[in-house]
Chains A and B, each alone.
Chain A
């Protein structure tokens, strides 16, 4: 596991951004000690606004600040931003096209001690459906930090999904990040693993495991769920003939659905989704155990790879 969490890397990067860009303001909803927007708050108290436990209001205040010439980063729990504040995000950020950056922390299952109310396993489905929204999911702490200035450079609404936890480091410092451009982290032509967020690291382990069995999996990191890098996916489908998606999210509406949309229209090949299979997830004492228990284990990815390979080239059975 990484030495620092994704939220800490994000929080420190936001404070750094504040130092170089005076237009950046930050808002939080009584969670600044959790999202770690407090690094920004401590350095720039005059540019930090604690709105209290009121995510919808924070979105609207941020939209107003954007109308007034600032670049707000709003901070809160993904479970609340993507659901309780979704109408505000739709109307006042996406439709009105205000330059609000949504840093959605504690995403996925990363708040493992707090249970299903606090998990965000539908946020990608919710946000991906909104016209005008850009959805970015860093794979590890270093990548979370690297996205912050890039998100600021982009003129328009962004949903940046941040884990409470760390993740297996996969970030490639010399492979530049670009919104809408997926990255090939491992080459291979037997099948393709398509992953986002913390599942990128788990897929890297799965690819390693598969290689010991003589199966060469390509690994694509889709950090930008929207706009989706369809070209990269279609190329992988054409060249490897089988895909597995993996995400710390419901199998409904997130990466798996997005990939299925592209493949079914452009290059239908055998495809299996690894994700949370449409159920609420329990409380845990340990994130890795929780993810394993929710169908997100390395073994689940390996199993999915074998399923999809079987469908690609059915073994001869009597």
Chain B
């Protein structure tokens, strides 16, 4: 377990802020992307990529690396920001994100972006994929952990629960799912589109250990991820309660910002709120 000093917490909070700024700029320049779910996941991604994951950007295929699957692949902007800041590829490669000359796809593609563990974009795959990776690790007696980040709306997909009971059957304690529980999806609030509560009860009933945290508290997220590694007889799900569009007042809790792109004025306002100094 790595020591969590107050300096480390401050550092991760600052990284999360930067990831939000990066994500919005990337989405703005591409003219496409999903801001709401990128902003809600910023602390989770910061905690994983800058503290928890045992990875080597110089050797992305290192076989002992921890595995991370972004099951909610539409949050690609925040993943790409983290991968670039961790040194998997130069940030400048994202200058033409979305263009035919840019390898990094709208949704993550494992064959095109170093550090992307698995291709995603269609919701629902991560837990079952993670179960397979975790089974492989156990059979090969490898100690890496597998982490899957999915959305709460994504939990409406039946295959999530097929994967969940599979992971429970095989008692895959080396698998941790994190639900970015922001309660907003494309068409509106999750509780209106298709209610999932009690979500913790559903995971628990499927045989998972459930930890609920404030997903914008770096300390709580990190502590939950550390605790998950110490549990040895069942998979763990961290229900990270988050706010869609977190950090930008006019985007928070607005389903409109699931998949819409800010205009120039909105971007400036958002960056100001995120503490970005205007550069003219």
| B is bound to A | yes
Q: How many residues of B contact A (CB 8 A)?
A: 29
Chain A CB within 10 A, most for which of B125, B129, B140: B129
The reply to whether A64 and B132 form a contact with Cβ atoms under 8 Å apart is yes
Measured between beta carbons, the chain B residues less than 8 angstroms from A87 are 122
Q: Is A288 part of the contact surface with B, judged by Cβ < 8 Å?
A: no
With the chains together, A46 CA to B119 CA distance in Å?
Answer: 28
Measured between beta carbons, the chain B residues less than 8 angstroms from A47 are 139
The reply to whether A67 and B118 form a contact with Cβ atoms under 8 Å apart is yes
Within 8 A of B (CB), among A87-122: 87-88, 91-92, 95-97
Give the Cβ gap from B211 to chain A, nearest Cβ, in Å: 23
Measured between beta carbons, the chain A residues less than 8 angstroms from B165 are 52
Over the window 36-64 of chain A, the binary record of Cβ atoms lying under 8 Å from chain B Cβ atoms (1 yes, 0 no) is 00000000001101011010110011111
With the chains together, A60 CA to B146 CA distance in Å?
Answer: 15
The reply to whether A69 and B129 form a contact with Cβ atoms under 8 Å apart is no
With the chains together, A96 CA to B134 CA distance in Å?
Answer: 18
> Looking across the interface, which residue of chain A has its beta carbon closest to that of B128?
A60
Q: Is A65 part of the contact surface with B, judged by Cβ < 8 Å?
A: yes
Give the Cβ gap from A290 to chain B, nearest Cβ, in Å: 33
The reply to whether A64 and B111 form a contact with Cβ atoms under 8 Å apart is no
Q: Is B159 part of the contact surface with A, judged by Cβ < 8 Å?
A: yes
Within 8 A of A (CB), among B93-147: 109-111, 117-119, 121-122, 125, 128-137, 139-140
Q: Is B214 part of the contact surface with A, judged by Cβ < 8 Å?
A: no
With the chains together, A49 CA to B131 CA distance in Å?
Answer: 11
Within 8 A of A (CB), among B140-186: 140, 159, 162-163, 165-166, 170
Give the Cβ gap from B111 to chain A, nearest Cβ, in Å: 6
Chain B CB within 10 A, most for which of A64, A70, A72, A88: A64
The reply to whether B111 and A56 form a contact with Cβ atoms under 8 Å apart is no
With the chains together, A215 CA to B139 CA distance in Å?
Answer: 59
Give the Cβ gap from A57 to chain B, nearest Cβ, in Å: 3
The reply to whether A67 and B162 form a contact with Cβ atoms under 8 Å apart is no
Contact of A56 among B118, B130, B162 (CB under 8 A): B162
Over the window 239-263 of chain A, the binary record of Cβ atoms lying under 8 Å from chain B Cβ atoms (1 yes, 0 no) is 0000000000000000000000000
Given contacts A46-B139, A70-B136, contact A60 B119 (CB under 8 A): no
> Looking across the interface, which residue of chain A has its beta carbon closest to that of B159?
A56
> Looking across the interface, which residue of chain A has its beta carbon closest to that of B137?
A68
With the chains together, A178 CA to B139 CA distance in Å?
Answer: 32
The reply to whether A96 and B135 form a contact with Cβ atoms under 8 Å apart is no
Measured between beta carbons, the chain A residues less than 8 angstroms from B130 are 64
The reply to whether B132 and A62 form a contact with Cβ atoms under 8 Å apart is yes
> Looking across the interface, which residue of chain B has its beta carbon closest to that of A50?
B169
The reply to whether B129 and A60 form a contact with Cβ atoms under 8 Å apart is yes
The reply to whether A68 and B128 form a contact with Cβ atoms under 8 Å apart is no
Give the Cβ gap from B136 to chain A, nearest Cβ, in Å: 2
With the chains together, A160 CA to B169 CA distance in Å?
Answer: 28
Measured between beta carbons, the chain A residues less than 8 angstroms from B117 are 67
The reply to whether A57 and B166 form a contact with Cβ atoms under 8 Å apart is yes
The reply to whether A57 and B162 form a contact with Cβ atoms under 8 Å apart is yes
Measured between beta carbons, the chain A residues less than 8 angstroms from B109 are 95-96
The reply to whether B129 and A92 form a contact with Cβ atoms under 8 Å apart is yes
The reply to whether B135 and A60 form a contact with Cβ atoms under 8 Å apart is no
The reply to whether B166 and A65 form a contact with Cβ atoms under 8 Å apart is no
The reply to whether A91 and B129 form a contact with Cβ atoms under 8 Å apart is no
The reply to whether A69 and B166 form a contact with Cβ atoms under 8 Å apart is no
Besides the contacts A63-B129, A64-B135, A88-B125, what 16 more A-B pairs have beta carbons closer than 8 Å? A25-B139, A54-B166, A56-B159, A60-B163, A61-B128, A64-B118, A64-B129, A65-B132, A65-B135, A67-B129, A67-B133, A68-B132, A72-B132, A88-B159, A91-B125, A97-B111
**Interface residues of A, Cβ cutoff 8 Å to B:** 25, 46-47, 49, 51-52, 54, 56-57, 60-70, 72, 87-88, 91-92, 95-97
**Interface residues of B, Cβ cutoff 8 Å to A:** 63, 67, 109-111, 117-119, 121-122, 125, 128-137, 139-140, 159, 162-163, 165-166, 170
11 interchain pairs, CB-CB under 8 A: A51-B162, A52-B166, A57-B159, A60-B128, A61-B163, A62-B132, A64-B134, A68-B133, A88-B159, A96-B109, A96-B119
Closest 9 CB pairs of A and B: A64-B132, A68-B136, A60-B128, A57-B162, A96-B119, A61-B132, A54-B162, A64-B133, A65-B132
